[in-house]
């Protein structure tokens, strides 16, 4: 199918193409992702996503249209913006006041790229593509740029880059863009980040790590055969038993022992 702004996020496009968000979703819970692709489950978008898209709409010049489309989310009944969007405006003002950030945000906006990786068709949207200057940018909103967060997967505190697996996105986008341009090297990837704090922090972060990009692409190649089998109903999806979907559809067949819950100890007072 031909991808357009109207069809990019459609169910048909998601069934035909793999995306970074879909891949990460499969890695978190195959059962929930497959149910979502089939239209049997819809996860809540959450206000954080709406706020993030608000800042993205400013970057690509469609903010007024976005405000109109999501006015019920953005405005109170008295017409005043809700607190999250007052904060979003402060985030935008922070970026707009920084000359270096604005320089990095110059280029083609919301560029759709497609290609084949690990036997699957992929799609992606690059926030800012500047081939003339040799880089691309992903615009990120985050709770904090410098605060480390606890990762259950890695069992340690990590940056927001690692917390949300942004290097997977960088690897896929770098490879798709390289293939589209028929080059043998990657453009330099950057994140322009702005925080959701009362006084927003902001940074331009280089992700020019070809070893890490190669590592993430190798991990994708290892994982894709099973993911494609799940999408094609050739393999049973694995349940994580932790997410909202698994809690909603949980069927108990046997009891568990209390020590299976973890954190147990003898000699408690």
Cα 17 from Cα 11, distance rounded (Å): 10
> Is the pTM higher than 0.95?
no
Sign of CA dihedral 126, 131, 136, 137: negative
Helices (H) and strands (E) in the chain, counts: 12, 7
**Rounded mean pLDDT of 174-201?**
97
Residue 268: per-residue pLDDT: 52
- For the chain, the average pLDDT equals 93
Q: Name residues whose C-beta falls within 8 Å of residue 106's C-beta, 6 or more positions apart in sequence.
A: 128, 130
Q: What percent of the chain has pLDDT over 90?
A: 84
In the predicted model, what is the mean pLDDT of residues 220-227?
97
Kindly state whether residue 254 falls inside one of the protein's structural domains.
Answer: no
Kind and range of the H or E run holding 69: helix 63-69
Which structural domain range is residue 31 located in?
Answer: 11-249
Instruction: Give the distance, in angstroms, between the CA of residue 125 and the centroid of all CA atoms in the same chain.
Output: 11
167 inside domain: yes
Q: How many domains does the chain have?
A: 1
| Cα end-to-end distance, the chain, whole Å | 64
Range 92-114 average pLDDT? 97
Average confidence (pLDDT) over 134-163: 95
Neighbours of 135 (CB within 10 A): 18
pLDDT at residue number 66? 92
The proportion of the chain whose per-residue pLDDT surpasses 70, expressed as a percent, equals 97
Is residue 4 domain-resident? no
Residue 69 sits in a domain whose CATH number is 3.90.320.10
Is residue 6 situated within a structural domain?
A: no
Q: In this predicted structure, what is the pLDDT of residue 267?
A: 58
Query: What is the C-alpha separation between 202 and 142, in angstroms, rounded?
Result: 10
**In whole angstroms, what is the distance from residue 178 CA to residue 192 CA?**
21
The answer to whether 107 touches 137, Cβ cutoff 8 Å, is yes
């Amino acid at each position: 199918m031909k991808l357009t702004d109207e069809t990019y996020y459609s169910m048909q496009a998601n069934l035909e193409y793999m995306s970074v968000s879909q891949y990460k979703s499969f890695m978190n819970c195959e059962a929930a992702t497959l149910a979502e692709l089939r239209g049997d489950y819809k996860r809540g978008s959450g206000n954080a996503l709406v706020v993030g898209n608000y800042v993205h709409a400013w970057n690509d010049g469609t903010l007024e249209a976005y405000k109109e489309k999501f006015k019920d989310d953005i405005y109170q009944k008295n017409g005043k913006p809700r607190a999250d969007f007052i904060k979003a405006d402060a985030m935008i003002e922070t970026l707009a006041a920084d000359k270096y950030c604005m320089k990095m945000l110059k280029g083609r906006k919301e560029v759709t790229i497609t290609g084949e990786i690990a036997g699957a068709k992929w799609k992606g949207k690059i926030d800012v593509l500047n081939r003339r200057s040799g880089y691309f940018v992903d615009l990120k909103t985050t709770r904090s740029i410098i605060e480390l967060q606890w990762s259950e997967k890695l069992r340690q505190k990590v940056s927001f880059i690692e917390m949300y697996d942004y290097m997977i996105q960088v690897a896929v986008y770098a490879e798709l863009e390289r293939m589209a341009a028929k080059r043998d090297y990657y453009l330099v990837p950057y994140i322009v980040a702005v925080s959701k704090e009362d006084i927003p922090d902001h940074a331009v972060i280089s992700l020019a790590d070809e070893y890490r990009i190669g590592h993430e692409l190798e991990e994708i190649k290892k994982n894709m055969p099973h993911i494609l089998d799940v999408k094609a109903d050739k393999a049973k999806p694995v349940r994580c038993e932790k997410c909202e979907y698994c809690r909603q559809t949980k069927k108990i067949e046997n009891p568990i022992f209390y020590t299976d819950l973890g954190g147990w100890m003898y000699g408690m007072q």
